[in-house]
Amino acid sequence: MDKNGSAVREFLLLGLSEDPRVNMTLFVLFLLTYLLTILSNGALVTACVIEPSLNTPMYFFLGNLSILDVCFSSVNVPYLLAQFLSQRKICFPACAAQMFSSVLLGCTECVLLAVMAYDRYAAILFPLHYRIIMSRSRCVTMLLSCCLAGLLSAIVVVVSTLQLPLCGHNVINHFFCEATIFLKMACGDTFVTEMVIFSGSIIVILFPSFFTLVSYIRIIAAIMRIRSSKGRHKAFSTCASHLIVVIIFYGTAISMYMKPTSADSANQDKIISLFYSVTPPLLNPVIYSLRNKDVKRALLKLSLWNCVHHFEKSGSL
């Protein structure tokens, strides 16, 4: 609703640039980024499903992280690509759906990263009981809990945000509908909504990041007690990839959602949002694949199997 009480039917997204030449360059760049994100995460999910050696809790969560990344990227990047081609308007239902999906997927991933830290904690500190601690049923329960946390966060944040009265305009200086941007557009008192978003951020961002930090402190302490240098290197290698992902995702999420509304300019908000919504989905499969021998072996087998299948099909023709 605007300040006169009339319903806002559509919004105008200003996007990243007004220069047509810059937009075409950015269109090609982000299109390639999006395609690489879909292909790399899709290959990682396929490898986790068909390779028996990857049938472990760690890869169960990794496969679901890749699915989340594909969905998260697909919520925002297609709209961003459309903006580069001058289609910048978005209707209110689509805007609400985009906001809801972004919060749902982002919060789910925040909690899932903490669960993955707990998985590494259990694997390194309790290797003999790892299969019991991280049983299949418990892994599924943890995954569903992550989804439930994301769903509840999305409902609370989106409902409280969309009830704010807008200041008589429908222009969004952003490339997608984000809750924090609506706080700057509102003409009424936003204190309650700000507290809702901040409290939710403490629960689904700060607590999981603190839990992850404590888990890795315990993990590093345990690794340092390993006498074999080869064993220490293997343990560090296993956890390093997850730690890189955690730093990237939590760092940008905290800088976006746990600061005063007017602390940064709209352009700074766009850069931060661009970083956490586009970069992690692209980097996650690359980081895990390059630093993990099991994943690289599975991807190589998948590539070889596809090549053999292609040649057999060509020969039969």
Q: Does 1 map to a domain? A: no
Lowest mean pLDDT, pick from 105-119, 123-137, 152-166, 248-262: 248-262
Per-residue pLDDT at 87: 67
Mean pLDDT of 5-28: 82
Residue 153: Cβ-neighbour burial (10 angstroms; 0-12, 13-18, 19+): buried
The pLDDT value recorded for residue 263 is 47
Count of domains observed in the chain: 1
Domain CATH for 43? 1.20.1070.10
Domain membership of residue 279 (yes or no) is yes
- Average pLDDT of 286-300? 71
What is the percent of the chain where pLDDT is above 70? 85
Higher pLDDT: 258 or 76? It is 76
Query: Looking at residue 211, what is its pLDDT?
Result: 93
d(CA 68, CA 104): 10
What pLDDT is attached to residue 274?
A: 83
Q: Is residue 3 part of a domain?
A: no
For residue range 166-222, what is the model confidence (pLDDT) as tens digits?
Answer: 766 688 888 888 888 888 888 878 888 989 988 988 999 999 999 998 998 888 888
CB 24 within 8 A of CB 280: no
pLDDT of residue 4: 47
Place of tokens 């309790």: 126
Q: Is residue 84 part of a domain?
A: yes
Q: Write out pLDDT tens, residues 234-286.
A: 667 667 767 777 888 888 888 878 776 654 566 777 888 888 888 888 888 87
Domain range enclosing 38 = 10-316
Residue 5: left (phi > 0), alpha (psi -120 to 50), or beta?
A: left
Q: How confident is the model at residue 101 (pLDDT cuts 50, 70, 90)?
A: very high
Residue holding tokens 């997927």?
105
Predicted confidence band of residue 55 (pLDDT cuts 50, 70, 90): confident
pTM, two decimals, is 0.88
Mean pLDDT of 312-317: 54
Q: Residues 280-307: what's their mean pLDDT?
A: 72
Dist CA 165 CA 192 (whole Å): 13
2 is a domain residue: no
What is the average pLDDT value for the chain, to the nearest integer? 83
pLDDT at 304: 63
Q: Is residue 236 part of a domain?
A: yes
Q: Is residue 4 part of a domain?
A: no
Domain-embedded: residue 265: yes
Which pair of structure tokens corresponds to residue 179?
Answer: 């809750």
- CA dist 94 → 85, 174, 228, 274, 277 (Å): 18, 15, 56, 19, 18
Contacts of 138 (CB under 8 A, 6+ apart): none
Q: Compute the average pLDDT of residues 34-41.
A: 93
**How confident is the model at residue 243, as a pLDDT?**
78
**Residue 313's pLDDT is what?**
58
In this predicted structure, what is the pLDDT of residue 224? 81
